[in-house]
Amino acid sequence: MSRKTKELVVEEFRRASIEDAAMQAIARKGIEEVTIQDIADEAGVAKGTVYVYFRDREELLARTADRLFDNLIAEIEPSFCAPGGFGVRLRGLALRQLLFFDEHKALFRATMALWQRESDPRKSRCVARYLGLLEKFFGDAVAKGDVRPDLDPFMLAAVYRDCIRGVILRRLDPNSQRLRNDAEVDAELLVSILLRGIQAGDQS
Amino acid sequence: MSRKTKELVVEEFRRASIEDAAMQAIARKGIEEVTIQDIADEAGVAKGTVYVYFRDREELLARTADRLFDNLIAEIEPSFCAPGGFGVRLRGLALRQLLFFDEHKALFRATMALWQRESDPRKSRCVARYLGLLEKFFGDAVAKGDVRPDLDPFMLAAVYRDCIRGVILRRLDPNSQRLRNDAEVDAELLVSILLRGIQAGDQS
DNA sequence: TGCTGGAATGACCGGGCGGTCAGTTTTGTA
DNA sequence: TACAAAACTGACCGCCCGGTCATTCCAGCA
Question: Cβ–Cβ of B197/A200 closer than 8 Å?
Answer: no
Q: Where are the alpha helices (DSSP H) in B104-182?
A: 105-115, 125-143, 153-172
Whole-angstrom Cα distance, residue B68 to residue B22?
10
Q: pTM of the prediction?
A: 0.87
Report the share of chain B in percent with pLDDT over 90: 61
Nearest CA-CA partner of B122 in A106, A175, A173? A175
B135: which chain A residues are within 8 Å (Cβ-Cβ)? none
| Contact (Cβ atoms closer than 8 angstroms) between residue B90 and residue B40 | no
Whole-angstrom Cα distance, residue B48 to residue B90?
46
Nearest CA-CA partner of B99 in B124, B76, B122, B132? B76
Question: Cβ–Cβ of B159/A163 closer than 8 Å?
Answer: yes
Report the first-to-last Cα separation within chain B, whole angstroms.
63
* Strand partners of residue B199: A147
The residue of A131, A152, A191, A198 whose CB has the most chain B CBs within 10 angstroms, and thus the best one to mutate to test that interface, is: A198
Nearest to A146 among B146, B148, B200 (CB): B200
Question: Cβ–Cβ of A162/B161 closer than 8 Å?
Answer: no
Question: Cβ–Cβ of A166/B162 closer than 8 Å?
Answer: yes
Nucleotide nearest to A48 in CA–C1' terms = D9
A185: which chain B residues are within 8 Å (Cβ-Cβ)? none
* Strand partners of residue B147: A199
**Nucleotide D12 C1' to residue B57 CA (A):** 30
Question: Cβ–Cβ of B149/A200 closer than 8 Å?
Answer: yes
Nearest CA-CA partner of A110 in A162, A159, A39, A43? A39
B174-183 confidence digits (pLDDT tens): 676 666 789 9
A121-141 confidence digits (pLDDT tens): 455 777 888 999 999 999 999
HSE, side-chain direction, 13 A CA sphere, residue A55: 4
Band the pLDDT of A16: cuts 50, 70, 90: very high
A156-194 confidence digits (pLDDT tens): 999 999 999 999 988 887 676 666 789 999 999 999 999
Report the share of chain B in percent with pLDDT over 70: 86
A83-117 confidence digits (pLDDT tens): 999 999 999 999 999 999 888 877 777 777 666 65
Mean pLDDT computed over B115-144: 80
Whole-angstrom Cα distance, residue A107 to residue A120?
21
Whole-angstrom Cα distance, residue A39 to residue A21?
6
Nearest to B197 among A154, A173, A195 (CB): A195
Q: Please report the pLDDT score of residue A132 as a whole number.
A: 93
For the cut 70, the answer to whether the pLDDT of residue B203 exceeds it is no
B132-145 confidence digits (pLDDT tens): 999 999 999 999 99
Whole-angstrom Cα distance, residue A100 to residue A125?
20
For the cut 70, the answer to whether the pLDDT of residue B114 exceeds it is no
Nearest to B148 among A173, A194, A198 (CB): A198
CA angle B174, B179, B184 (to 5 degrees): 105
The residue of chain A nearest to residue B189, with distances taken between CA atoms, is: A151
The residue of chain A nearest to residue B170, with distances taken between CA atoms, is: A158
B46-82 confidence digits (pLDDT tens): 999 999 999 999 999 999 988 988 999 999 999 999 9
